[in-house]
Amino acid sequence: MKRVPIISPAFLLSIGTIAGLLVIMQALIMTEIVSPYVVPLPSDIAASFWRVIVEEGVPGRFAVTVGETFAASLLILIVGIPVGLLLYRFGKLRLAFEPWLAAMAAAPLVLAYPLFLVLFGRSSLTIIIIGFTAGVAPVALKTIEGFTSTRRVLIDVGRSFRLTPAQEFRQILLPAALPQIFVGLRLGLIFCLINIVGVEFLINLGGLGQLINDLAERYDLPGTYAAICFVVCVSILFFAVLDRGEKWLQRRG
Amino acid sequence: MIAERDIATSVAPGAKPAPSGPPPLTVENVTKRFGEGPTALTAVDSVSFTLDAGEFVSVIGPSGCGKSTLFHVIGGLSDVTQGIVRVENETINGPHPAVGIVFQEESTFPWRNVIDNVAFPLELRGVSRSERHAAASHYIDMVGLHGFEKRLPSELSGGMRQRVSIARTLAAKPRILLMDEPFAALDEQTRLLLGDKVLQIQQQLKQTTLLITHSITEAVQLSDRILIMSYRPGRIKRIVNVDLPRPRTSDVVSSPEFGAIVADIWADLREEASRGLQESERGQG
């Protein structure tokens, strides 16, 4: 397999596009076409990074948000994939519950945060449970889709080699469904992270979400945007891990 | 009812080994019906034939005659409504280890490279990685894919992927090779080349082979015998012995004898195909 170099034309294009947009933004704000009271100068945001890291305890907050996202993602993985498999295997269960899962995936569950607060208290557990609840449905749905879209002929190949049900699952169904399952995991992770940071913001507890809340209330706009960049870093970190995981599993067949 | 007519044009020296022991494959009075009551559809009706060891037999018929249904029944992938299929003397009730199947559809595992695809049946048997790769390399060479071992199926052409499927089936060392229109999705040139390759392998391994096809020239080029099926319900209308000399080089394929057999089969098949066309037009109307 050919390895894609890190500094590929695609990478340069993406970095160049972001840099170009930042330059345009800088120019628009400096000429006051965009109000500096709404969006701070990108140069001010860049300058505030170190200050926010040192003064606001970003490493600790980063770790809290990463930890909560990791715990919620693990729960999503442990529950979402088996639920998807169960609904794939049992048609009647699927008929009964798939529409509910689809509704759950589309619902703004973050609005139910007061209920979760009552149930689990103002703690990281609440944040993890809300992150899990928001991310589990797309994983289960995509798992069902992955298994049901496995081409019939591949299952027939397995049957022709007289695979046991466990071998059929391990050797054919799971690898065939893996790309779809990872699409679900990516979607689930997006929902999970949005909800975790959102709830941290709303209940003013924990990691980067709480930091964004604090900085926004102090009207520290460059700091607020810098904190948002740290959330993007969490997202990049999890997507990179997911990408590595998918490639590793694909290599193992 | 089987009406057998020999239209041999010459004797092929050593083409068919003399049968000894029970026939590798016996299909006895097999009927396959879908559904029940007045809407039931009989896809295959009272089909009987046997395959001798090392023999290459083709089943040919118009679309909708039940060829693929018969393939699934013989492969143990579908139950029979009536009748039995025996491999050697064993009645099958599911896929049999002696029967290797090559499917019409592209069936390589897209997540495995060529060598791991071919080594798949050996992996299931717990053969060590080095041993199964050595064995898989042998079959990869046999189908002419040396140098492509580490490629993924997505990096190969349709014809190459089908060769991977054939090599994977051969790696399981089946005593009977069952193929369902394995070249159907390929272009004419690739079909011809792949047909040659399959024939070469079949001769090399003395593999008993049953090929389901709708191509008359392919059937005549490859087979010792051709079973012509009628349009729905699928019955064996006629059996044609192809006693053309082997190897069936381009000289043989372009000979008047080859053309005569093709024309003779087409005369039978055209009648059935027309009937199928009329029925499907009536169905649409």
Of B193 and A65, more confident: A65
Please tell me which of the candidates A154, A161, A172 has its beta carbon nearest to residue B121.
Answer: A161
The β-bridge partners of A41 are none
Of B89 and B113, more confident: B113
Taking the CA of residue A155 and the nearest CA in chain B, the distance in Å comes to 9
A4 occurs within a structural domain: no
Number of domains within chain A: 1
DSSP structure string for B148-202: -TT--GGGS-HHHHHHHHHHHHHHT--SEEEEESTTTTS-HHHHHHHHHHHHHHH
pLDDT in tens, A117-172: 999 988 999 999 999 999 999 999 999 999 999 999 999 999 999 999 999 999 99
Residues of the domain holding A67: 41-252
Please tell me which of the candidates A157, A163, A250 has its beta carbon nearest to residue B111.
Answer: A250
CA distance B127 to A180: 31
Question: Which three-class secondary structure state does DSSP give residue B142?
Answer: helix
Query: What was the ipTM of the complex prediction?
Result: 0.84
Q: What is the pLDDT of residue A185?
A: 92
The residue with tokens 């048609």 is A91
Quick count: other Cβ atoms within 10 Å of Cβ A219? Answer: 9
On chain A, the residues whose CB falls within 8 A of the CB of B76 are 160
pTM summary value: 0.79
Residue A92 corresponds to which amino acid? K
Q: Does B247 touch chain A (CB under 8 A)?
A: no
Report whether B227 contacts B49 (CB < 8 A). Answer: yes
On chain A, the residues whose CB falls within 8 A of the CB of B75 are 160
Quick count: other Cβ atoms within 10 Å of Cβ A64? Answer: 22
Residue B89, pLDDT above cutoff 80: yes
Report whether A28 contacts A20 (CB < 8 A). Answer: no
CA distance A151 to B78: 17
A17 occurs within a structural domain: no
Q: Does B14 touch chain A (CB under 8 A)?
A: no
Task: Give residue B273's Cα distance to chain centre.
Answer: 20
Q: What is the pLDDT of residue B10?
A: 34
* Count of helices and strands (H, E) across chain B: 9, 11
CB contact under 8 A, B107 and A154: yes
Task: Find the range with the poorest average confidence among A144-148, B107-111, B177-181, B183-187.
Answer: B183-187
* DSSP class of B15: S
The two three-digit tokens of residue A46, written as one number: 């860049």
R_g of chain B, CA atoms, integer Å: 19
On chain A, the residues whose CB falls within 8 A of the CB of B116 are 253
Residue B135, pLDDT above cutoff 60: yes
CA distance B215 to B186: 12
CA angle B262, B266, B271 (to 5 degrees): 170
Of B162, B160, B172, B165, nearest in space to B117 by CA: B165
- Tell me the average confidence (pLDDT) per consecutive run of 10 residues in chain A, 253 residues long: 68 91 93 88 92 90 92 95 93 91 87 90 92 94 94 94 93 92 91 92 88 90 91 87 84 67
Question: Which three-class secondary structure state does DSSP give residue B232?
Answer: coil
Angstrom distances, CA of residue A90 to CA of A76, A93, A153: 21, 5, 21
Please tell me which of the candidates A163, A167, A253 has its beta carbon nearest to residue B112.
Answer: A253
Q: What is the pLDDT of residue A11?
A: 85
Taking the CA of residue B252 and the nearest CA in chain A, the distance in Å comes to 35
A157 occurs within a structural domain: yes
Q: What is the pLDDT of residue B2?
A: 40
CA distance B153 to B175: 26
Q: Does B182 touch chain A (CB under 8 A)?
A: no
pLDDT in tens, B248-258: 777 888 899 99
Q: What is the pLDDT of residue B283?
A: 64
Q: Determine the average pLDDT of the residues in B218-226.
A: 91
Q: Determine the average pLDDT of the residues in B196-219.
A: 85
CB contact under 8 A, A156 and B77: yes
Q: What is the CATH number of the domain that holds A69?
A: 1.10.3720.10
The two three-digit tokens of residue B134, written as one number: 């050595």
The two three-digit tokens of residue B180, written as one number: 């369902």
A23 occurs within a structural domain: no
